[in-house]
Amino acid sequence: MTLLLIRGGTVVSPTGRSAADVLVDDETIAAVLAPGQAEALGIAPERGGIAGASSDITTIDATGKYVIPGGVDVHTHMELPFGGTAASDTFETGTIAAAWGGVTTIVDFAVQRTGESVLDGLAEWHRKADGNCAIDYGFHQIIGGVDDESLKAMTYLVDNEGITSFKLFMAYPGVFYADDGQILRAMQNAGESGAMVMMHAENGIAIDVLVAQALARGETDPRFHSLTRPAELEGEATHRAISLSKVAGNVPLYIVHMSASEALHEVAAARHLGQNVFGETCPQYLYLSLEDQLAQPGFEGAKWVCSTPLRSKHEHHHADLWKGLRMNELAVVSTDHCPFCMKEQKELGLGDFSKIPNGIGGVEHRMELLYQGVVTGELSLERWVETCATTPARLFGLYPTKGIVAPGADADIVVWDPDGHTTIGLEHKHHMNMDHSAYEGFEVDGKVDTVLSRGSVVVGDDKFHGRAGHGKFLKRGLSQYLV
């Protein structure tokens, strides 16, 4: 029997915080003990470090630190083909970077493009990930072509493969785009099995017109990526997706990577009416802007081309999204981690912003950046844990195995040092397979101290102790948040 005791810390959950010790037995949490209870039970050894052991019990001293569930990032794109290239993080490099950032579970997206087989796409993603992940992982399924065969496959995946969420796109015609009729059919199908529909909500048909017009005027710089994807078209598509989900029978709908106040207002209104509608935002939409990043001189702004795009700091988007997180209008913070290097990848769009691969790398920094929101008063400590770990686990069928520090849960645990400090950047903290950082120079008042994945220390003493292949594929259940 392998026992590990995390001593002296403050355990944080969505409902509060308390001084407690956490006893880990092999891969699971055996007990959360009141201070002194471990000694009373005779299971407390002398204090030691990560490698310190006594009486076959390893100890981690968490005095003055928070003990939180490992982060659950339900929106990543490892090795995603896009725009003539592919995301630069493999499942190995991306999950190692995630671990460095206190993330112990990711849910990535298996891909079916228009004209391809759903089951073949899933098999390809299993091939990419199997034996390569340093932390646990699951899959959503992208449905890029809605037809009778893909609808049958959706039901099969829910019933047999533990894949209970499906992503549709209202953008990218010819690749992933689904029209309203196709979306309605997919939602009706999902409703029959209780699955979640995830939606990329932008009016892609109108956006393509605006992009063509901008290029015809010679407007080719990266900043035009945002200007041709106006917030109104994100809001309109969000409204349309919500309406379709209601017509389909209040089918669970999760709007991904929300960047605009207009879209947030639609989600908030639907939630106030009791619909099964949930919103996700990402750190880039809370911290980065059109003016400060995307509009940098020359081609530099290409680093921050992503969709939905960065918005103007002179509008209300940033403040509204933080408010949405506080009020539970937004349920989850994920990353939409889809990294591309500048060299030979982003540079594919030199002279034409529409050819810049869309994506920002952030899987390593979500927990850190959102904690800075705790420091500045945007979020409570409990809400930080809720939006980054517990709610994503509950929404996507991983709870209570993931997302909580409680007896019986997997021992996915982060010891967080609030007195530590993190500088993000290539010469500081950066483990993603990228030649730049979207958050270069950002300072965080806090630090990942120790990370456990199913009871194994994968990060500690500023070293990576894990290995590719440790991570297991997770078959997920249905969402626990539905009305």
pLDDT in tens, 53-111: 445 899 999 999 999 999 999 999 999 998 889 999 999 999 999 999 999 999 999 99
pLDDT in tens, 239-250: 999 999 999 999
- Of the candidates 434, 362, 345, the residue with the CA atom closest to the CA atom of residue 86: 345
Task: Decide if 92 is inside a domain.
Answer: yes
The CATH number for 314's domain is 3.20.20.140
- The pLDDT score that the predictor gives to residue 51 is 38
Instruction: Looking at the structure, tell me whether residues 161 and 237 fall in a common domain.
Output: yes
Which pair of structure tokens corresponds to residue 297?
């001189």
- The pLDDT score that the predictor gives to residue 16 is 97
Q: Which of 48-62, 87-101, 309-323, 423-437 has the lowest mean pLDDT?
A: 48-62
- The pLDDT score that the predictor gives to residue 1 is 59
When pLDDT is cut at 50, 70 and 90, the band that residue 482 belongs to is confident
- Per-residue pLDDT averaged across 408-416, rounded? 98
Task: Decide if 271 is inside a domain.
Answer: yes
Structural contact between residues 23 and 78, judged by C-beta atoms closer than 8 angstroms: no
Task: Examine the fold and report which residue of 370, 395, 420 is the final residue of a domain before the chain moves on.
Answer: 395
Instruction: Looking at the structure, tell me whether residues 280 and 422 fall in a common domain.
Output: no
Structural contact between residues 321 and 279, judged by C-beta atoms closer than 8 angstroms: no
Task: Decide if 483 is inside a domain.
Answer: no
What does each C-alpha distance from 102 to 98, 228, 477, 481 come to in angstroms?
A: 7, 35, 24, 25
Can you name the residues that pair with 212 across neighbouring β-strands? none
* Position 262 pLDDT exceeds 60: yes
- The pLDDT score that the predictor gives to residue 50 is 41
What does each C-alpha distance from 435 to 79, 89, 199, 353, 463 come to in angstroms?
A: 16, 11, 30, 20, 21
Which residue segment(s) compose the domain that 272 sits in? 71-395
> How many Cβ atoms are within 10 Å of 42's Cβ, its own excluded?
7
**Residue 333 to residue 436: CA distance in whole angstroms:** 22
* Position 327 pLDDT exceeds 50: yes
SS3 sequence of 123-177: HHHHHHHCCCCCCEEEEEEECCCCCHHHHHHHHHHHHHHCCCEEEEECCCCCCCE
pLDDT in tens, 177-230: 999 999 999 999 999 999 999 999 999 999 999 999 999 999 999 999 999 999
pLDDT in tens, 343-356: 999 999 999 999 99
pLDDT in tens, 351-402: 999 999 999 999 999 999 999 999 999 999 999 999 999 999 999 999 999 9
Instruction: Looking at the structure, tell me whether residues 24 and 151 fall in a common domain.
Output: no
Task: Decide if 472 is inside a domain.
Answer: no
Number of domains comprising the chain: 2
DSSP 301: G
- Of the candidates 424, 414, 412, 419, the residue with the CA atom closest to the CA atom of residue 470: 412
Instruction: Looking at the structure, tell me whether residues 139 and 227 fall in a common domain.
Output: yes
Instruction: Looking at the structure, tell me whether residues 117 and 55 fall in a common domain.
Output: no
The CATH number for 55's domain is 2.30.40.10
When pLDDT is cut at 50, 70 and 90, the band that residue 483 belongs to is low
- The pLDDT score that the predictor gives to residue 114 is 84
Instruction: Looking at the structure, tell me whether residues 186 and 113 fall in a common domain.
Output: yes
Instruction: Looking at the structure, tell me whether residues 259 and 360 fall in a common domain.
Output: yes
What does each C-alpha distance from 247 to 91, 191, 241, 275 come to in angstroms?
A: 38, 11, 10, 11
Average pLDDT over the chain reads: 96
Instruction: Looking at the structure, tell me whether residues 173 and 236 fall in a common domain.
Output: yes
Which pair of structure tokens corresponds to residue 221?
């710089």
- The pLDDT score that the predictor gives to residue 204 is 97
Task: Decide if 216 is inside a domain.
Answer: yes
Instruction: Looking at the structure, tell me whether residues 341 and 379 fall in a common domain.
Output: yes
Handedness of CA 143, 153, 253, 386 (dihedral sign): negative
Instruction: Looking at the structure, tell me whether residues 459 and 377 fall in a common domain.
Output: no
Task: Decide if 266 is inside a domain.
Answer: yes
- Of the candidates 71, 11, 10, 18, the residue with the CA atom closest to the CA atom of residue 387: 71
Task: Decide if 470 is inside a domain.
Answer: no
What share of the chain in percent tops pLDDT 90?
93
Task: Decide if 226 is inside a domain.
Answer: yes
Instruction: Looking at the structure, tell me whether residues 106 and 210 fall in a common domain.
Output: yes
Angle of helix 261-272 versus helix 317-326 axis, rounded to 10 = 30
- Per-residue pLDDT averaged across 458-480, rounded? 97
Instruction: Looking at the structure, tell me whether residues 346 and 210 fall in a common domain.
Output: yes
